[in-house]
């Protein structure tokens, strides 16, 4: 899909019809891996995909998603939060390109069991993802959904 068309077609998907394949997960990982992070300090970030039923069952607000991909960092300043957003957005667009349903998720962060992430890493944002019956075509959004201005 062309990039601009993809961007206009992206939407939050909260209903999932099945698990993604390992190849699809790898493609999503690769997209996250291509993200930019502040000061190029990639070692400060982790991407952890949760597919284990017993862990998923403990997560709040994931809408029954079969996969939850957590972006974590070893600090939680604005720089790590923004970088995590870039990483997760890359992964969301990759999911869309694969025809999968995905949504950003913060609701689950507080319920992630302590042993899921490496010691010292904090979850900053997650992506719920799974197969979907939804299709992706450019949406007609209100032009002022986000107010904009240009100083000249």
Ligand X SMILES: Cc1cc2nc3c(=O)[nH]c(=O)nc-3n(C[C@H](O)[C@H](O)[C@H](O)COP(=O)(O)O)c2cc1C
Judged by the rule CB under 6 A, the positions of this chain that interact with ligand X are 11-12, 14, 61, 103-107, 125
Q: Which residue is nearest to ligand X (CB)?
A: 107
Minimum Å distance from CB 18 to ligand X? 19
| 24 vs 108 by CB, closer to ligand X | 108
Minimum Å distance from CB 23 to ligand X? 25
Spatial contact of 70 and 52, defined as CB atoms under 8 Å apart: no
| 12 vs 75 by CB, closer to ligand X | 12
Spatial contact of 19 and 51, defined as CB atoms under 8 Å apart: yes
Spatial contact of 134 and 17, defined as CB atoms under 8 Å apart: no
| 23 vs 142 by CB, closer to ligand X | 142
Q: Determine the Cα angle at 138 with ends 133 and 144, to 5°.
A: 125
Minimum Å distance from CB 117 to ligand X? 18
Spatial contact of 130 and 101, defined as CB atoms under 8 Å apart: yes
Give dist(CA 59, CA 66) in Å, integer: 11
| 21 vs 138 by CB, closer to ligand X | 138
Minimum Å distance from CB 143 to ligand X? 14
Q: Which two tokens stand for residue 32?
A: 């996250």
């Amino acid at each position: 899909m062309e990039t601009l068309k993809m961007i206009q077609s992206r939407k939050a998907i909260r209903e999932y019809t099945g698990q993604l394949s390992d190849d699809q997960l790898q493609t999503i990982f690769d997209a996250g891996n291509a993200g930019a992070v502040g000061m190029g300090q990639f070692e400060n970030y982790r991407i952890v995909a949760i597919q284990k039923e017993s862990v998923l069952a403990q997560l709040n607000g994931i809408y029954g998603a079969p996969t939850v991909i957590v972006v974590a960092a070893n600090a939680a300043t604005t720089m790590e939060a923004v970088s995590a957003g870039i990483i997760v957005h890359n992964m969301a667009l990759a999911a869309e390109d694969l025809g999968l349903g995905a949504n950003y998720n913060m609701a689950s962060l507080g319920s992630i069991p302590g042993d899921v992430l490496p010691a010292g890493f904090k979850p900053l944002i997650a992506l719920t993802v799974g197969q979907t019956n939804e299709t992706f075509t450019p949406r007609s959004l209100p032009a002022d959904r986000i107010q904009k201005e240009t100083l000249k």
